[in-house]
């Protein structure tokens, strides 16, 4: 058996992400992440790709910290963020936040444009004018970056780390939302001062504060093509004491006057605004976050800026649109959506609401429409292939992409992948991907990967849960999309909405039955694994059946009643499960800890200390309950990781531990403890 994609090969693969197209359509830029020399982090460099596919890719940036958030200014210069030191600073600090840099269109050295003390979080650039807006947090009592730096220094000098919160939420995924608050700033055209760390100040102006406050938390924003207006999400109320207030309206801010206008405030959460080239309309994604008696639903909307009318575009489309992009003519929109085990690119003609699926299969992200309106560029991936830049046209249905030379080189040779369809007991089809070793000698053990979300789908390449690493080790891997998975229509999500222990579980087992019947699979050697919601489902499976030889549960939910109050965004849970202080029945009925007495399957529990979405308390309660019930279990703990294992050295240990655990229970081999654990 060959080893075309073992753990070492996997960890050494360049990772392509992010795509930006220059205003003239002649330059594409992508980020390529590789492992830093010390092996403790991934470092991204920016590469130029020829849109015509003729010239070889060319590296544009190189620094120890790496670069991110690439976008083009109207003059063709490349903007990006980086924590690299200012070359003109007398004594730059050893650790710096991400600042904004500019690489001239005609080449040369990158120059520092803006360095807010808290770093640049996001970047917004106008298409037609030299207007740039950055998101950079600021102290609630500061109105400029100098004052913000002074207050931060005072806290540091006093040894103060405490934070006082007055609104909800107070945490997000892996960080506390303080002591600074979100803010948006317009940069002066002629550049910005260097960092407030002793470097030269050759600025001709200061950043203008556009908006600030927790209403901006998590908001998507964009500039009008002429740079006159910013469109941004705006949380509905400072009093976010109820779930309905977690959503964001859409507002516009006129940069010259500061005038604000509410564009859409109908109770839905508005995201991904995109301004029409003629400046008269804005497209966005409006999401009804749901309620215990109705599922979440996302719709593409169109807002007329002259008369304020709002209409849902293609309301009969039973898919959830993402990231709308305008054609230059303004008569159609391009968007992507999860689509029956794929992530397809669609075109919708606004005069007729006619929707055309432009791609035949696989997954597409980072769509960029060319200035001529005839071509678009995207990153193309599949379950069996990592992301690569490609070209498509904007009108042909079900087309195959034209691949462009990739900075990552040729795609790796990986396992074979088959589409598998099972039928649930209610007659609904359950789609899955089955990943099989290329050179298997007889039936092999099966490991079922359960996706997170739960609103998600196995439809693309995975860096964090890569099935091909397991296939190289001799396992078949099942990637099922049970109830609550996206891309199969609203009714498919309704089957599991607020009832996680019912249809999602039975659908999962139907998919396992179908995979176990495959001639390449040994139906007596089965394992299950999942993270986040997938970890919840792994825990639920453990309490419902002893069919699996072992179970891996990562960042998993264990006790739903307690989870509501400890997760970073508990209020949103009430959309699906209801108010636990009025009716806690759904939380209790579908909580895996109720079935701990039925668990006999060996379990590997994995959790990160800094996980605020699924707090470490869930992992600790699970571990304690397993120990009290004499379940054969291990606990892999990461003190400095969060909901995801992001550091290369820890990813290595994650895979080594998981592979050792699977080999122990599926192959009958002694557990091999990784050397560094």
- Does the structure show a pLDDT above 90 at 107? no
pLDDT in tens, 604-618: 999 999 999 999 999
pLDDT in tens, 448-457: 999 999 999 9
In angstroms, rounded to a whole number, what is the distance separating the alpha carbons of residues 579 and 575? 8
pLDDT grade, residue 201 (50/70/90)? very low
Q: What are phi and psi of 659, to 5 degrees?
A: -65, -40
* Contact of 416 with 438, CB cutoff 8 Å: yes
CA quadruple 482, 483, 485, 489: dihedral positive or negative? positive
Mean pLDDT taken over the chain: 94
Closest by CA to 360, choosing from 407, 322, 312, 396, is 396
Q: Which residues contact 46 (CB under 8 A, 6 or more apart)?
A: 29, 30, 31, 32, 59, 60, 61, 67, 70, 78, 80
- Does the structure show a pLDDT above 70 at 252? yes
Six token digits for residue 559? 């006790």
In angstroms, rounded to a whole number, what is the distance separating the alpha carbons of residues 25 and 110? 21
pLDDT grade, residue 466 (50/70/90)? very high
pLDDT in tens, 42-94: 999 999 999 999 999 999 999 999 999 999 999 999 999 999 988 777 666 66
In angstroms, rounded to a whole number, what is the distance separating the alpha carbons of residues 182 and 76? 29
CB atoms within 10 A of CB 109: 8
* Contact of 163 with 178, CB cutoff 8 Å: yes
Q: pLDDT at position 587, please?
A: 96
The CA distances from residue 317 to 168, 196, 355, 467, in Å, are: 34, 51, 8, 32
| Mean pLDDT to the nearest integer, 134-146 | 97
In angstroms, rounded to a whole number, what is the distance separating the alpha carbons of residues 136 and 210? 11
pLDDT in tens, 296-355: 999 999 999 999 999 999 999 999 999 999 999 999 999 999 999 999 999 999 999 999
Ordered by where they begin, the domains of the chain are 416-666 (3.40.50.1820)
pLDDT grade, residue 478 (50/70/90)? very high
pLDDT in tens, 356-389: 999 999 999 999 999 999 999 999 999 999 999 9
More confident residue, 222 or 413: 222
Six token digits for residue 536? 């919840």
- Does the structure show a pLDDT above 50 at 204? no
Per DSSP, the chain holds a count of helices (H) and strands (E) of 11, 38
* Contact of 570 with 618, CB cutoff 8 Å: no
Q: pLDDT at position 665, please?
A: 98
Q: Where are the beta strands (DSSP E) in 340-396?
A: 342-349, 354-357, 363-369, 375-382, 385-393
pLDDT grade, residue 241 (50/70/90)? very low
Q: State whether residue 512 is helix, strand or coil.
A: helix
CB atoms within 10 A of CB 71: 17
- Does the structure show a pLDDT above 90 at 133? yes
pLDDT grade, residue 205 (50/70/90)? low
Q: State whether residue 18 is helix, strand or coil.
A: strand
């Amino acid at each position: 058996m060959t080893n075309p994609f073992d753990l070492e090969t996997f960890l050494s693969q360049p990772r392509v992400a992010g795509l930006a197209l220059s205003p003239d359509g002649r330059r594409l830029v992508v980020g390529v992440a590789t492992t830093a020399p010390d092996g403790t982090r991934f470092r991204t460099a920016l590469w130029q790709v020829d849109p015509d596919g003729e010239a070889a890719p060319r590296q544009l940036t190189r620094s120890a910290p790496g670069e991110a958030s690439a976008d083009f200014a109207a003059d063709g210069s490349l903007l990006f963020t980086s924590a690299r030191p200012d070359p003109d600073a007398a004594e730059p600090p050893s650790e710096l936040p991400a600042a904004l840099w500019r690489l001239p269109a005609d080449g040369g050295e990158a120059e520092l444009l803006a360095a807010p003390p808290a770093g640049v979080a996001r970047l917004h650039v106008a298409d037609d004018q030299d207007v740039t807006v950055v998101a950079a947090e600021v102290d609630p009592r500061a109105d400029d970056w100098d004052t913000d730096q002074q207050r931060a220094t005072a806290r540091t000098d006093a040894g103060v780390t405490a934070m006082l919160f007055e609104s909800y939420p107070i945490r997000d995924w892996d960080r506390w939302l303080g002591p600074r608050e979100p803010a948006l700033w317009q940069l002066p055209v002629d550049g910005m001062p260097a960092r407030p760390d002793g470097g030269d100040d050759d600025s001709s102006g200061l950043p203008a504060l556009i908006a600030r406050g927790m209403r901006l938390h998590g908001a998507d924003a964009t500039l009008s093509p002429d740079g006159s207006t910013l469109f941004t999400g705006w949380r509905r109320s400072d009093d976010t004491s109820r779930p309905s207030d977690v959503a964001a309206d859409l507002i516009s801010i006129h940069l010259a006057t500061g005038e604000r206008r509410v564009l859409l405030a109908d109770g839905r959460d508005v995201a991904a605004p995109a301004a029409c080239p003629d400046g008269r309309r804005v497209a966005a994604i409006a999401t009804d976050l749901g309620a215990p008696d109705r599922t979440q639903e996302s719709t593409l909307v169109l807002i007329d800026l002259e008369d304020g009318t709002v209409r849902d575009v293609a309301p009969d489309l039973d898919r959830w649109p993402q990231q709308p992009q305008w054609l230059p003519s303004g008569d159609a929109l391009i968007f992507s959506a999860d689509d029956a085990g794929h992530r397809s690119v669609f075109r919708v003609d606004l005069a007729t609401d006619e929707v055309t699926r432009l791609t035949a299969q696989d997954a597409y992200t980072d769509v960029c429409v060319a200035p001529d309106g005839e071509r678009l560029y995207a990153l193309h991936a599949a379950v069996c292939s990592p992301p690569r830049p490609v070209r498509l046209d904007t009108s042909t249905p079900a087309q195959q992409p034209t691949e462009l030379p990739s900075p990552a080189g040729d795609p790796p040779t990986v396992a074979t992948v088959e589409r598998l369809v099972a039928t649930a007991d209610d007659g609904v089809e359950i789609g899955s991907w089955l990943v099989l070793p290329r050179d298997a000698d007889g039936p092999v053990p099966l490991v079922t990967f359960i996706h997170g979300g739960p609103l998600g789908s196995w439809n693309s390449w995975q860096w964090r849960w890569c099935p091909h690493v397991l296939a190289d080790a001799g396992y078949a891997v099942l990637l099922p999309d049970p109830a609550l998975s996206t891309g199969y229509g609203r009714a498919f999500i309704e089957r599991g909405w607020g009832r996680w222990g019912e249809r999602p579980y039975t659908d999962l087992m139907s998919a396992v039955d179908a995979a176990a019947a495959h001639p390449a699979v040994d139906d007596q050697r089965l394992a299950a694994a999942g993270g986040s919601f997938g970890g919840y489902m792994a825990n639920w499976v453990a309490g419902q059946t002893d069919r699996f030889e072992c179970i891996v549960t990562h960042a998993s939910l264990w006790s739903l009643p307690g989870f509501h109050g400890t997760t970073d965004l508990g209020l949103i849970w009430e959309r699906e499960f209801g108010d636990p202080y009025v009716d806690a029945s759904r939380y209790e009925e579908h909580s895996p800890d109720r079935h701990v007495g039925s668990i006999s399957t060996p379990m590997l529990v994995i959790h990160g200390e800094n996980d605020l979405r699924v707090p470490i308390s869930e992992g600790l309660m699970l571990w304690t309950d397993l120990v009290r019930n004499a379940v054969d279990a291990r606990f892999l703990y990461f003190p400095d990781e969060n909901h995801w294992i992001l550091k290369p050295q820890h990813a290595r240990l994650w895979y080594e531990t998981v592979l050792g655990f699977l080999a122990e229970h599926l192959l009958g081999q002694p557990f091999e403890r990784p050397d560094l654990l």
